[in-house]
Structure 1
Amino acid sequence: MFVYVYAYAKFSFDEHCRTVIAFMDDQLYSAAHVIRTQPLMATVICVIASKAVRPENYTTYLGAADQIINTTFSGAIDIYTVQAMMLLAAWTGRHRLWGYVASIAVELGLSVAASNLADVSVEHTADLVGLARTWFSLCCFDLMINLNRPFVVYNIMDYLPVASQLLVSPHCRPVDYRLCAYLQGFSITAEAKAQIANTELQPNPLPDSVIQRLRALDEKIDRWFYHINNSMEPLYQTFAKKQDRNRFMVPFAFLKIYVNGLALHGKVSQHGSADTNRVAFIQKALDSACLLLQTQFESKEFRQMLPYSGDYNLVTTYYAIEFMPKALEVASAAVNCGLVLSRLRQGAQLLEEAGAAESASKVRDELHMLKQVMRTSLPPEGLVADLDQAAGESLFDIPNLLDG
């Protein structure tokens, strides 16, 4: 019976889920005869696929996966077990599991394999590259989910430059280009965490040294995105289905929210005067939050996946939604409030379509309050496109670094 269930789940997973996490190697799941011998990986595939095709069985499969993970505390563990736990943690939002995954990865020597890629005296075997690739994927997850928390990988910044060795390896795979692109992007947020202490954001106005660092980091994000769209293409266009540029638009906007949004962490005004530099950073972060939600809302494929990919895909959505009301309190005079609130309304709809009805209701309550406070009316949904046109299309422009 399980063989039949797994075969059906595997087909559904391959059709709808295998490329959702762009930097995870989709070739992991191609060898069905191998996966079938790995109880946890097979069960995790059933967990993920069941949300799309058998939601009534989701809890049962999730419980089975938890039981198998419990056995790893005292049993043998292999690379497939680590990869399965990574997938389970990402797809179900079980962030507490990441620390355990990282400890097991170190125990299996994944961190050593990653470091060995930079050693010219070490042969790049398929096994070594595979272990390193999994380690870098773990680093990528760590960078994405722990923007405001300590990283689970010790000395994570030491590993990031080594990832580029995947691209010159004889066992390089298409996913390596995507993985390196994500690592390069999210290493910018790691730099921001390391370079700018919260105490430095408190003075009003912002110190010149902080302003310079924020601008430099923001420009670095622009260069990263420019490189993807002008130098890497078509190398990152390696999914089974045709991929559009918007695939990287979401992490681009996400990075811009984080870096520029750091300006929201300090004193906003003093003696009734606004810090124009601080407000400008917050405005840029707000624009990026609008871009992120608009990109997701206008992607038919993204919205179709939400009922079963929401725990992973909505991480960026929640981040933008939670940032926007706080930022509006500071920068409402510098932005089109009607357009921002329209984006929040779209965010609420995304949450509802993902099955997060309670969260969607809270966003709509927040919207109602913001409309009252700002005395702003929301435009009809059909007119949002007109607002976009009125606001200009500059948000969707690939940074033109040749004009600077």
Structure 2
Amino acid sequence: MAPVGLPAEDAERARQNVFSFLQKQPVVLAHRPGRLVQFSRERIPKLDDNLEQLEQRLDLMEGHHQAEMQEMKNMVARLADKLNMSPEEVGSTPLQSTIPNEYQQEEGVLNDTIDIVSQGLVGSSFNKNCRTVIGFMDDQIYPPMDFLRRHALLSMVICIIAARAIKPEKYQIYIAHADDLLKDTFSGPTPDIHAFRAMMLLTAWTGRARLWGYVASVAAELDLNTAALQLGDDAVEETATLIERTRAWFSLCCFDLVSNLNRPFVINRMREYLPIAKRLLNSPYCRPVDYRINAYIEGFTITADAKAQLPKCGLQLKPLPVEAAQLLTSFDQKIDRWFYAINNGIEPYQTFTNEQDRHQFVVPFAFMKIYINGFAMHGMNPQGDVPDANRLGFIQKALDNANLLLQTQFASDDFRRRLRYSMDYDGMTTYHSISFILKAITAAHQYLDYGKVFTALQKAAQMFEEAGALEAATEVRREQERLAMLTQTTLSPLENDAAPGLAMEEAVLFDIPSFLDAATWDEQFPTLSMYVLD
């Protein structure tokens, strides 16, 4: 049957035109599928296969459209719930007006995120300043940018890290959005390993220690601890996936050992897993990061053992008990041997994609020396009797290493450049050194060699200022002046220069603890079982 109103020849020509059109632009007809049924399949048998394929494609496209529409409806419903509006009200309201004021920006948060990603700002800034900051995180775990854009949480975390320096006005906004994405993982399917890594990076780079417990629970749901135990089982075949999952688990162990020395560890019975990490080095899938993971585990296991044993040996007794002095000496010597092994026996311990300066391990070395020897400060009282020589020797050693740590950080152009990004992670050791200096000089300056202290504090203040942490820099200089008055020291012009003239915005991004905390070294140790590594 010919279409109504057309001669037979014209109808046949129309059929051929339609057939040609279908071959070139089948998608256009998705909006008018009814036109197809006007052509008799009996009159045009050669269209049967094409029509059947087209109908299948239309059904598939319709399914996709329905899924997209349902997702849009769900999104509107969630937005309406947050804004206490009905979905109909949201649908009739301009999108920009539905976004709370604290999330509104000139181009919108999402558009701006896409903008800095598409311009390459995130990728170039992150790769240059952030990729190798955390030594025990594999610099190869970060996926290609095309995958990164498709992974919401990981891409948002990368944007957070990069935006801290290149778009600081967006930093808190991105943090809020990452928190929303993180909340979405509280229920539903278990996050994938990329989300787990994103959570570790988010927690480390923003300095929010409360999240470590949740990150550890996600690791358990992913059975990463089981993967580590399987690597220790000779009967289990080593695969690339098993090694990747085990490596992720031991990265979390490193975070726990490094970040929670003054808090309970979040991984239960961690010591059962740590010896297995050495098997990464013998795997056919071994990467350079596995040497760094083992180096950190070996080193910070020393401080974890000290955390468990030293509070029980009478550090607060006067004079310092022989048992306490022997333990302090033993742990200090273990750190020396660890550092010697890193510099002479581990190759390549520090091989990133780009060559790194070998002295980067001086910072954790000095930090551990401060932590161990600093235990001797417990029991010090500025108004008390003259401390014994043993105690003063350990305090002096901790003070010297605090100076060493600050000088090492200041001497590293790479460290100073990235500190604007990494303040909440790299700044932990900087703050710990400053805090120890302030408390040690306040409590025992009459008995210590503090000649290098003021230069070290000035360098710390300058690093903070260069990183945009102006309030922290001002506070360090104020404390420096207080110590100068206490010790009757005349500051040199360099040390007394409170304003190098750097033109920077006032930064409110950094959660640096107050340096004005009262000295608490003479307080009782916590009675909780927070020192147990096993």
The answer to whether the 8 Å contact 1:115/1:159 transfers is yes
Q: Which residue identity is paired with 1:126? A: A
**Residue 288 (structure 1) aligned with residue 401 (structure 2):** yes
Residues 69-112 of structure 1 deviation map (CA, whole Å, 9 limit, x = unaligned): 01001132111111001001111111111111011111111111
Q: What TM-score, normalized by structure 2, do the two folds share? A: 0.68
Structure 1 residue aligned with 2:262? 148
Structure 1 residue aligned with 2:320? 206
**Residue 95 (structure 1) aligned with residue 209 (structure 2):** yes
Within 5 Å, which residues of 2 pair with 1:84-123? 84-123=198-237
Within 5 Å, which residues of 2 pair with 1:3-402? 3-7=114-118, 8=120, 9-76=122-189, 77-197=191-311, 200-233=314-347, 235-267=348-380, 272-381=385-494
Deviates more, 1:254-263 or 1:10-19: 10-19
Q: Which residue identity is paired with 1:12? A: S
The answer to whether the 8 Å contact 1:50/1:57 transfers is yes
Deviates more, 1:81-90 or 1:4-13: 4-13
CA-based RMSD of the aligned residues comes to 2.0
Q: Which residue identity is paired with 2:117? A: Y
Structure 2 residue aligned with 1:395? none
How far did residue 271 of structure 1 move? Answer: 7.1
Change (3 A) 1:48 1:207: same
The answer to whether the 8 Å contact 1:201/1:262 transfers is yes
Q: Which residue identity is paired with 2:193? A: I
The answer to whether the 8 Å contact 1:294/1:346 transfers is yes
How far did residue 334 of structure 1 move? Answer: 4.6
Change (3 A) 1:12 1:273: closer
Change (3 A) 1:329 1:57: closer
The CA distance in 1 between the partners of 2:251 and 2:492, in whole Å, is: 42
The answer to whether the 8 Å contact 2:129/2:417 transfers is no
How far did residue 142 of structure 1 move? Answer: 1.0
The answer to whether the 8 Å contact 2:410/2:416 transfers is yes
Q: Unaligned stretches of 5+ in structure 2?
A: 1-110, 497-534
The CA distance in 1 between the partners of 2:444 and 2:493, in whole Å, is: 23
3-state SS in 1 of match to 2:471: helix
The CA distance in 1 between the partners of 2:414 and 2:168, in whole Å, is: 19
The CA distance in 2 between the partners of 1:109 and 1:28, in whole Å, is: 19
Matched residues, number: 382
Change (3 A) 1:335 1:380: farther
The CA distance in 2 between the partners of 1:179 and 1:302, in whole Å, is: 20
Q: Which residue identity is paired with 2:492? A: P
The CA distance in 2 between the partners of 1:207 and 1:90, in whole Å, is: 38
Bigger Rg, structure 1 or 2: 2
Structure 1 residue aligned with 2:90? none
3-state SS in 1 of match to 2:459: helix
The CA distance in 1 between the partners of 2:404 and 2:279, in whole Å, is: 33
How far did residue 201 of structure 1 move? Answer: 1.0
Identity %: 53
The answer to whether the 8 Å contact 1:264/1:282 transfers is yes
Residues 351-377 of structure 1 deviation map (CA, whole Å, 9 limit, x = unaligned): 222222222222222111111111012
The answer to whether the 8 Å contact 1:204/1:268 transfers is no
3-state SS in 1 of match to 2:237: coil
Deviates more, 1:310-319 or 1:60-69: 60-69
Residues 110-131 of structure 1 deviation map (CA, whole Å, 9 limit, x = unaligned): 1111122211111121111111
Q: Which residue identity is paired with 1:142? A: D
Q: Which residue identity is paired with 1:6? A: V
Residues 270-296 of structure 1 deviation map (CA, whole Å, 9 limit, x = unaligned): 973321101100000000000000001
The CA distance in 1 between the partners of 2:177 and 2:149, in whole Å, is: 15
The CA distance in 1 between the partners of 2:382 and 2:154, in whole Å, is: 52
Structure 1 residue aligned with 2:7? none
The answer to whether the 8 Å contact 1:338/1:376 transfers is no
The CA distance in 2 between the partners of 1:382 and 1:266, in whole Å, is: 31
The CA distance in 1 between the partners of 2:285 and 2:145, in whole Å, is: 21
Change (3 A) 1:267 1:204: farther
Residues 144-181 of structure 1 deviation map (CA, whole Å, 9 limit, x = unaligned): 11111111111122222111111111211111111111
How far did residue 214 of structure 1 move? Answer: 0.8
3-state SS in 2 of match to 1:29: coil
Q: Which residue identity is paired with 1:240? A: T
How far did residue 382 of structure 1 move? Answer: 8.6
